[in-house]
Amino acid sequence: MGELYGYVKALHLIFVITWFAGLFYVPRLFINQIEASLKPSPDKEILTKEFKLMTRRLWYIITWPSAILATLFAVWLLILFPAWLQQPWMHVKLGFVFLLILYHLKNHQMFKQLQRDDIKYTSNFMRIWNEGATIILFAVVFLVILKSAFSWVYGVVGIITLGILLMLGIKLYKRIRDKNPEA
């Protein structure tokens, strides 16, 4: 069973990584498409068409399959080690996985809207939204690595600090971009 566990765990991690890669990049493509929609013709039409195509390929060829496969291999791991379901850290991890799935589904909704040229969000909102996956990733990695050694006080303070630092970074980038539109 040890060798099987290694393969299943490796495949789970590979698909988690590719899932996150898609979740990190798709909001960036949303930002590009939203900003392209503000450009004059013919740039607007050319760029929008290209960003829609790039997003569609990323979403359906990488992100969705990776999400499904990461989940299937995770379930397989839990079948191999059902005792993990008794561990408090696993309950918290599964809570974050649930949030990740909700984040993924909201991205899917945004994807469908943008494919119809239905723009409901600003590029600044999307820059902030893009950090959702980062916060979930940090939380899950620390939970999995530290398990029972994870201190709730430090963990909560760390996640809040990370969120604040990300927001400050976005504001700083916006200032730099407003001063120099080529940045």
Query: How far apart (Å, rounded) are the C-alpha atoms in residues 183 and 177?
Result: 5
81: Cβ contacts below 8 Å, ≥ 6 apart: 5
93 in a labelled binding site: yes
Q: Enumerate long-range contacts of 91-97, CB under 8 Å, 24 or more apart.
A: 92/143, 92/150, 93/140, 93/143, 93/144, 96/136, 96/139, 96/140, 96/143, 97/140
Query: How far apart (Å, rounded) are the C-alpha atoms in residues 32 and 23?
Result: 15
Q: Output b/e per residue, 4-26; b: 16+ Cβ within 10 A.
A: eeeebeebbeebbebbbebbebb
Positions at the binding site for heme: 12, 93
Positions at the binding site: 12, 93
